[in-house]
């Protein structure tokens, strides 16, 4: 099975670390984010990767090469200028399977989500795309109270069960190529169109860990989630 990883961003919120290291290569417990992701995906049967790289792309290419030392195959799609997630996917369209579903991922997430659930959801719905959704992690601790406003408990940064967010994990039919812009965002320029046409479905995941690494604090929290 094949995965396309969107790993070309600047990582501005992680400066000065990203002045010299692209965000997907930032280390967590001594391993780049992208390697953590690749090991997770390989454990679920994905052994072909297309890495869409731009900013400091040489660092990614020099580390992963053709993927053979990690037991996978790696190809690259290069951005000479920022194309956005939709544009990067469009640039990678020659790597889309002819008929089979494939996965796409943001290159800054760590998770243990079961990919077969997303694949099955997309296949059974005959959808153009399926999005993995996770419960919104509260950025703050929650205080619960009794009916008479006595403090009852403190819950540190719980998942908010009634609110779901895009996990940056997608399963696509190759026909997604018909919707992709040359420059633009798959999240804002493509998904709303697919949703309006009834071609986009959700795969909800609550019993999992998931972290998008966007800040120094995220790096620290991801380190607590991951097992070396």
Say whether 163 sits in a helix, a strand or coil: strand
Instruction: Kindly name the residue from 12, 157, 204, 217 that is annotated as catalytic.
Output: 157
Residue with tokens 């967010």: 165
> Residue 14 has which token pair?
């992680």
CB 180 within 8 Å of CB 86 = yes
Which residues, other chains included, contact 170 with Cβ-Cβ below 8 Å and sequence gap of 6+? 103, 104, 105, 118, 129, 130, 131, 132, 186
Query: Helix or strand or coil: residue 98?
Result: coil
DSSP string across 5-63: EE-----GGGTTGGGTS-GGG-EETTEEHHHHHHHHHHTTT--EEEEEE-TTHHHHHHH
Catalytic site residue 31?
no
Catalytically active residues are 157
């Amino acid at each position: 099975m094949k995965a396309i990883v969107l790993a070309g961003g600047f990582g501005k919120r992680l400066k000065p670390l990203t002045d010299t290291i692209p965000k997907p290569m930032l280390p967590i417990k001594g391993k780049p984010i992208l390697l953590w992701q690749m090991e997770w995906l390989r454990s679920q049967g994905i052994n072909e990767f297309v890495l869409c790289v731009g900013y400091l792309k040489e660092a990614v290419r020099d580390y992963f090469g053709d993927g053979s030392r990690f037991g996978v195959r790696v190809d690259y799609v290069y951005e000479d200028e920022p194309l956005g997630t939709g544009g990067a996917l469009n640039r990678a369209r020659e790597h889309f399977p002819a008929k089979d579903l494939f996965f796409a991922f943001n290159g800054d997430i760590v998770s243990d989500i079961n990919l077969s659930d997303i694949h099955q959801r997309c296949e059974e719905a005959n959808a153009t795309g399926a999005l993995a959704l996770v419960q919104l992690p509260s950025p703050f601790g929650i205080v619960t109270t009794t009916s008479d406003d006595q403090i009852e408990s403190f819950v540190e940064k719980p998942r908010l069960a009634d609110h779901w967010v895009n996990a940056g994990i997608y399963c696509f039919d190759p026909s997604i190529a018909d919707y992709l812009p040359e420059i633009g965002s798959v999240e804002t320029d493509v998904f709303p169109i697919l949703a309006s046409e009834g071609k986009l479905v959700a795969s909800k995941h609550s019993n999992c860990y998931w972290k998008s690494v966007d800040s120094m604090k995220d790096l620290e929290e991801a380190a607590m989630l991951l097992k070396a």
